[in-house]
Amino acid sequence: MSRKWLSSILAVLLLASLPNHGWAQMTHQTPLAERAHPIVSFDYANFNNVIAGVAAGDGVVFVSEPLNASVVVLSRLTGRQIGELPPPPNGFVLPFIMHSLGTGRVAVLDAGGLPQPQPFVPTNPNIYEYTYSISPEQGFAASLVRTISFANVLVGFPEDFVHLDDGGYLLSDAVLGSIWVVEPDGTVVPGIVPKSFDPQDFIPTLALCPTMPEITVNGYPFLFTGSTQPGVSPLAVRDGTVYYYSPCARGLYAFPLAILSDDRKPYQRAADIQLVAPTPPEVQVEELLDFSFNPFNPLDRYLYAADPLKLRVIRIDLSNGARQVVATGPKLFDFPSSLGFLPTIGPVSELVIVSNQQERTPLTNDAVSETTFKLPFIVAKVLIVP
């Protein structure tokens, strides 16, 4: 029996065995044309601590607990905790977004503090690279193998990072509207960065907006931290093109990766930024907190995104900017903030999504005065059938 047919049969069996509450996520009332192909979503893991980032690896899923300064490791099969990543020598400050780097490797972005745009307080981020292994005899084991510090540059808040094929990284700063490049040797250099950090020199397609209209999220009045709208936020790279989303600049943008090493000054490179998919005009505020291509299916050309203000996961067709709803619902997707694909074999793709109820706490919502979290925090899994 071929691997493809075996994986298809296993997927069908898994779908048939799901509890009924997972199927309830298919009831979102959107026009049929806006829906993706058959999708099933269900509760995968529960936490009593605030969660933020997720990364999927070989047999494991990593989930960050920023306020607990830890990264928990779950069994991919059961969703139960099997370990933790060892903290760096001085401990984690705010472990935030994470990304798989391939077999047995994962990177953690420690934001170095919560965003404070008004009054402005910078953060001190680090990227930590780990190698890990898992076996029936030894269980889970991991080692910190590389630390990348951004202490020598000014960062307002690091919203996301992306690993490059040469071993380097890109880092987005949603407050100061910058994209920084980490070279393979760990040196941090400006990619697209304003001429200065005075407001008159900010780059409009990257910068934050100093004001934000109050909106409603899941029944709560909502304003981002500082009542601002973030600038450049999630990052993704495919086929030599860098993609990013900006709530302030209202859209999904792109530029060639190669320009980050040309001879122009960093702020001059912004001239090559192009709008790919504008925020729908009827949407007052849109934030895509994390997005990713499907690295395990080259035929899947969509960009998958966490759409927290609408309590859903969407995917974007880059050829025309059309958005499709992948999964939605206030229980499984209560402010989805991070997502990642699991390694797959066969036609069914697995996506894990962390939601962290940001609308329910003044830590991340300036429009509320008290925290009303509804435990547990949920990691959901979505099965995407071609």
Task: Please report where in the chains the tokens 């969509």 appear, as a residue.
Answer: 302
324 and 317 in contact (C-beta within 8 Å)?
Answer: yes
Residue 130's domain comprises: 3-384
Q: Which two tokens stand for residue 329?
A: 């619902």
Q: How confident is the model at residue 32, as a pLDDT?
A: 36
Strand extents, DSSP E, 239-321: 241-246, 251-256, 274-278, 290-293, 303-307, 312-316
Q: How many residues does the chain have?
A: 386
pLDDT (0 to 100) of residue 144: 98
Q: Are 379 and 354 in contact (CB under 8 A)?
A: yes
In total, how many domains does the chain have? 1
Task: Provide the pLDDT for residue 136.
Answer: 86
| Spatial distance between the Cα atoms of 320 and 275, rounded to a whole number of angstroms | 11
- Out of 213-217, 261-265, 268-272, 345-349, pick the least confident: 345-349
Residues linked to residue 192 through DSSP beta bridges, in sequence order: 179
Residues 6 or more apart whose CB falls under 8 angstroms from that of 20 comprise none
CA distance 282 to 285: 9
Q: Are strands 70-75 and 81-84 parallel, antiparallel or unpaired?
A: antiparallel
pLDDT of residue 35: 60
Interval 23-27 mean pLDDT: 37
In 3D, which of 84, 11, 72 has the Cα closest to residue 45? 72
What is the pLDDT confidence band of residue 34, given thresholds at 50, 70 and 90? Answer: low
Please state the rounded mean pLDDT for residues 264-292: 97
Q: Where are the alpha helices (DSSP H) in the chain?
A: 3-17, 20-23
Mean pLDDT of the chain: 91
C-beta neighbour count of 287 within 10 angstroms: 25
Q: How far apart are CA 22 and CA 39, in angstroms?
A: 11
CB 368 within 8 A of CB 357: no
Q: What is the pLDDT of residues 114-134, one digit of tens each?
A: 999 888 999 999 999 999 999
Over residues 134-159, mean pLDDT: 95
Q: What is the CATH number of the domain that holds 149?
A: 2.120.10.30
Residues near 144 by Cβ (< 8 Å), separated by ≥ 6?
Answer: 86, 88, 128, 129, 130
Higher pLDDT, 312 or 36: 312
How far is the C-alpha of 178 from the C-alpha of 207, rounded, in Å? Answer: 8
Contact 249, 204 (CB under 8 A): yes
Average pLDDT over residues 79-102: 97
Cα-atom radius of gyration of the chain, to the nearest Å? Answer: 20
pLDDT tens digits along 333-381: 999 999 999 998 778 999 999 999 999 999 999 999 999 999 999 999 9
Please state, for a pLDDT cut of 90, what percent of the chain lies above it: 84
Phi, psi of 265 (to 5 degrees): -70, 150
pLDDT exceeds 60 at position 17: no
Average pLDDT over residues 251-271: 98
Q: How many whole angstroms separate alpha carbon 367 and alpha carbon 359?
A: 9
Please give the pLDDT value at position 313: 97
pLDDT of residue 6: 39
